[in-house]
Amino acid sequence: MDYFSPAQCAGYVALVLGVGAFLNKDDKRMKLLLSVESVVYGAHFFMLGNLAAAGSAAISAGRTYLSLKSRSLWLAAAAVALNLGVGLKVAATGFAWIPIIASCAATVAFFTLDGMKLRIVLLTTTLMWLMNGYLSRSIGGVVLESLIAAANATTLVRMGLERSRAAAE
């Protein structure tokens, strides 16, 4: 395996963008960085030959950006349907459905939740993407999802502590 192939390097760029996104407590900043990260992540998985993950990441980029502008359940439903359509078209194995299911769950969360509830769902979907990265032999993907999980968990703790302090005052 070439650790510095274009595919792996794209994964490393996605890693930096993803970790930066989840270190933000501001939902809008997080979503904007995740939109860019998803474009790069999609290219990464495309170069690795994982079309289901590539398609799902590409849809995630648009979905996440649109969730900045709207909370429309119609847009959420359209993104879920698009993800499922991509899955039906390109998911050749059972494990190829992991990123599709993760993206569907994250889509619903992006359009309906915020704050800690949003991040808890995203932590769950991150663990699904971690499994996908491992199964796809994505070095950057495994590192990215591991660090995103840690960053998200850390931010959840910080947000919980702030909430506790505010309630105590």
Q: Is residue 1 part of a domain?
A: no
Mean pLDDT of 99-107: 94
Residue 1, pLDDT > 80, answer no
Query: Integer distance in angstroms from the first to the last C-alpha of the chain?
Result: 55
Instruction: Report the domain count for the chain.
Output: 1
Question: How high is the pLDDT of residue 108?
Answer: 96
Mean pLDDT of 98-106: 94
Burial class (CB in 10 A: 0-12, 13-18, 19+), 125: buried
The predicted model scores a pTM of 0.85
Give residue-wise pLDDT tens across range 7-26.
989 988 998 999 899 888 89
Q: Is residue 137 part of a domain?
A: yes
Residue keyed to tokens 């915020």: 114
Question: How high is the pLDDT of residue 120?
Answer: 97
Residues 45, 57: contact at Cβ < 8 Å? yes
Question: How high is the pLDDT of residue 9?
Answer: 92
Question: How high is the pLDDT of residue 112?
Answer: 95
Give the separation between CA 147 and CA 131, rounded to whole angstroms.
Answer: 14
Give the separation between CA 33 and CA 64, rounded to whole angstroms.
Answer: 9
Residue 106, pLDDT > 90, answer yes
Question: How high is the pLDDT of residue 2?
Answer: 85
Q: Is residue 149 part of a domain?
A: yes
CA-based R_g, the chain, Å: 16
54 Ramachandran zone, left/alpha/beta (phi>0; psi -120 to 50): alpha
Q: Is residue 57 part of a domain?
A: yes
Question: How high is the pLDDT of residue 161?
Answer: 94
Burial class (CB in 10 A: 0-12, 13-18, 19+), 38: buried
Q: Is residue 50 part of a domain?
A: yes
Question: How high is the pLDDT of residue 25?
Answer: 85
- Residue 112's H or E segment, with its range, is helix 97-112
Full residue range of the structural domain in which residue 39 is found: 6-168
Per-chain mean pLDDT for the chain = 92
Distances, alpha carbon 60 to alpha carbons 155, 162, 163, 164, in Å? 22, 29, 29, 32
Mean pLDDT of 33-61: 93
Give residue-wise pLDDT tens across range 113-135.
999 999 999 999 999 999 998 99
Binned at pLDDT 50, 70 and 90, residue 92 comes out as confident
Give the separation between CA 120 and CA 14, rounded to whole angstroms.
Answer: 21
